Chains A and B, each alone.
Chain A
Amino acid sequence: MISVRNLNHSFKIGKKGKEKRVPVLKGLTFDVPEGEIVSIIGKSGSGKSTLLHIMAGFLTPESGEISVQGIQTSSFNEVESAKFRLDHFGFVFQNFQLMPGLTAFENVELPLTLKGISKSERQKKVKDLMQSVGLTDVQDHYPNELSGGQQQRVSIARALITDPPIIFADEPTGSLDSETEQDVLLLIQSLNKTRGITFVIITHDDEVAQTADRVYRMHDGILTEGGVQHAI
């Protein structure tokens, strides 16, 4: 599903003229098979978030190749990358990243609005999805009127609404208490099983990583460990 080959990336730091290049990703090569939950675990500064940003197309890598469903995405320009994201990816962020001026319903509706889908079709689809993830009661609430767990459910619903084959989750339980964390992880596992969606979860938490089918461990920009932990 996602194939990463010899991926390298570095950041410039320091004042202009005295910049230093700090390598962040050092020749990464790995695969994310279709229909699996893959977690990339690592400490802060290990380069896991940069890896997600490059896979999602927020960053262009210095070298290396990434292909998604056989399509080379690492050479996309900004516009092509945005369109590809809208059609193929869903995103779940640590801070939920909901639009504060939109209700839960409107937040979930947003990707469909961006795709130019008609209002009636959008509303039917959002209504069905919100019902399936248990958000009907709070659909007219604004994000600041929702609990952390509810906000993350809205965020997951927003990622799901376009039926993407891949969802990237960046520390999806990072802002949640342990009880809510379990709820969210169960929801991710259930969606993976029922809808066959591939999840790429970035986390620093071993417990979260254990819910994945495949775990890659990152340290100083190198994948040090990886493997299948569950029967797929």
Chain B
Amino acid sequence: MQFRDQISFVGQHIKKNKMRVFMTVLAATMGTAFLIVLASVGFGLHETIRGEVLSNRLVTQIEVFSSEMHEEKVAELKKRDHVKAVVFRQNIGTEQQSSIGNFTGNNPLIVTDFIEEEKANFELQEGRLPEKANEVIVGSNFAEYLMNQQDENKDGEFTTYDGKLIGEQFIYQVGDNEGELIEDEMMLTIVGIGKKPAKDWEQDQKIYADASIIPELEKIYYTHVDKPADDHSDAQQLFYGNVNVYADKLENVKAISTALKDDGYSVYSISDELDQLDVFFLALKAGLVFVGTIAILISSIGIFNTMTMAVTERTREIGVMKAIGADPKLIQRLFLMESAWIGIVGTVLAVVISYGVSIVSNYVLPIIVTAALGEEDFGDMTVTFSVIPWQLVVIASTISIGVAMISGWRPARKATKIDVINALRQEL
């Protein structure tokens, strides 16, 4: 029997028992939709938490710690596979002060490599990158941290600098090892302003300078402080560095982190945090799929019933087919196709319904929860209640169609075992 004829044969039987098949499909649909929607909550929560973790930091960033970080090590890090940029920021480990007129602040100065910073998505809001040793870029909140301590506004707070920044010169001073500011000053010129941080609560008041500023600063500092005997001494070092390695893709973060750990570096990356999170949510999602599967198993009783009745009702027809010469395996296949059809249609409907439920719940639930909690929103958090990834659709479809076919298996086997002689004796 050709496959097309088998389909048409099954179709004719389904048409004959529309109501019963419809009810069975409905049960299969409800079971599968329950599984998908239930598990989608797990996927939704996972995505929400993951999104929250990822939004708080640069996802491709790996913080690297080493007691001896220097230019050679940075150069070696840059050569590694899948490394997009290596930003070696050197901070000043002592008191520092910036002043424009009467406005002063303790904005920290950071020496960095602007070429690498640009590769790691450092962007300017205004101006240009430094070209000379005394040219610097300031963070977007730089001015807010420059205060006039002799002038208070009506709220009793010190007034902050609100003049122009680009092209402006300011005095920069470092402190000695006792924390006292050294009188020798540096005049620095602002040539650019960094882009505002993505998060409202993040502030960037820093001063970014090129490595060419180091000799001048060290000269001032070591005039007043004894230079350490060697670079390994922690005491009295003006600069201490931290290195951020940026991977080209999130997928490569783990590989780079592992390689760095193997080479003796202490590293911290988002992938460490995500790994733990993923394991937890994997267990949660597996649990939800298991609970949902029970609903499908309940609906499979309906399929078993329907198929058993179909076999019983068609005993005489099966007998005639076998008498004419139908292969018992063909009879079995026809019944399995019927139960698979119920499973497939039930699954397709369930997927469509589940996506609908998911969209509606993501739209309606935040409104209800907000109204119930009496808050404007969930703060900065974007909560996704339900997410249906294609993997969930594949898992649910496999379970649903598989269970449908297993339910139809026994009735189909029963059909092949029907005795031709007894079947032909049945009354019409």
A residues near B (Cβ < 8 Å) are 53, 56, 58-59, 78-79, 82-87, 89, 91, 93, 95, 97-102, 110-111, 113-116, 118-119, 158
Contacts and interface: CB of A to CB of B under 8 A. Distances in A.
Given A97-B316, A97-B424, A113-B1, A91 B323 contact: yes
List 5 A-B pairs, minimum CB-CB distance, nearest first: A86-B325, A85-B325, A58-B420, A97-B320, A113-B5
B371 interface: no
B330 interface: yes
A18 B418 CA distance: 25
A95 B423 CA distance: 12
Interface string B312-325: 00001101111111
A91 B423 CA distance: 15
Contacts, number: 69
Interface in B287-337: 316-317, 319-330
Given A53-B421, A93-B424, A99-B317, A83 B327 contact: yes
B2 A99 contact: no
B249 interface: no
A82 B325 CA distance: 4
A53 B423 CA distance: 13
Contact of B324 (A85, A95, A100, A101): A85
B229 interface: no
B325 A83 contact: yes
Interface string B396-428: 000000000000000000000000110010001
Interface residues of chain A: helix, strand, loop or mixed (majority):
helix
A168 to B, nearest CB: 10
Contacts of B329: 79
Interface in B1-31: 1-2, 4-5, 9, 12-13, 16
A113 B4 CA distance: 10
B1 A58 contact: no
15 contacts: A53-B420, A82-B322, A83-B325, A83-B327, A87-B325, A91-B324, A95-B424, A95-B428, A99-B317, A99-B320, A100-B428, A113-B1, A113-B2, A115-B1, A116-B5
Contacts of B424: 93, 95, 97
A87 B326 CA distance: 11
Nearest to A143: B428
Nearest to B15: A101
A98 B328 CA distance: 19
